[in-house]
Amino acid sequence: MTKTLACAALALALAAPAWAALKDGDKAPDFSAPAYLAGKPFTFKLADALKQGPVVLYFFPAAHTSGCNLEAHLFSQAIDQFKALHASVIGVTAGNTDQLADFSKETEHCSGKFPVAADAGAEIAKEYDAVLSMKPEWSNRTSYVIAPDGTIAHVYSDLDPKGHVRQTLDAVRALTKK
């Protein structure tokens, strides 16, 4: 009976959305991190990216896992729509960071169209309240749209990867209409 309850609790935890504590209007924590674009290393700096326009910052648990593979692929398919709105996309993970160079260039994932950054120890995720509760050394699946002034314009947190692109693209569209 105890094993059944434990399994049920784990299933609920996995199915339940992860609720981010940062809200619209909050100041986004600034960060820089080692990143890859099409397999090439560089240092991503949020402050520099915001000078170009809105930033979609999406946290994902780990490279080369089923949900994260799908989410990266969906962002890569929509990247031209984000660019048309002068928005950039950055994926950040604390999981499988040794695989990010390949993940960033593989056509079934990022396709070299947007960067992914390594978050050692989930330090950035902690600042954004985006830590996976059942595995705190990894980030959960939370997406932020950050306005060029550094404030959070939209937050979407759900372990299902399918809604993140639509949610963030709609938020960027609304932000650019202001």
- Dihedral angle of Cα 29, 31, 35, 38, to the nearest 10 degrees: 60
Number of Cβ atoms within 10 Å of the Cβ of 30 = 11
Q: Is residue 16 part of a domain?
A: no
What SS3 class is residue 163? helix
Q: Is residue 169 part of a domain?
A: yes
> Which residue type occupies 166?
R
> Token pair of 23, please?
């809200």
Residue with tokens 């399918």: 162
Q: What is the pLDDT of residue 67?
A: 86
In this prediction the pTM is: 0.86
Q: Is residue 106 part of a domain?
A: yes
Number of structural domains the chain divides into:
1
What CATH number corresponds to the domain at position 148? 3.40.30.10
Domain limits at 118? 22-177
pLDDT mean values, one per 10 residues, the chain (178 residues): 39 41 94 97 98 97 90 95 97 94 92 95 94 85 97 93 94 91
Q: Is residue 15 part of a domain?
A: no
Q: What is the pLDDT of residue 9?
A: 38
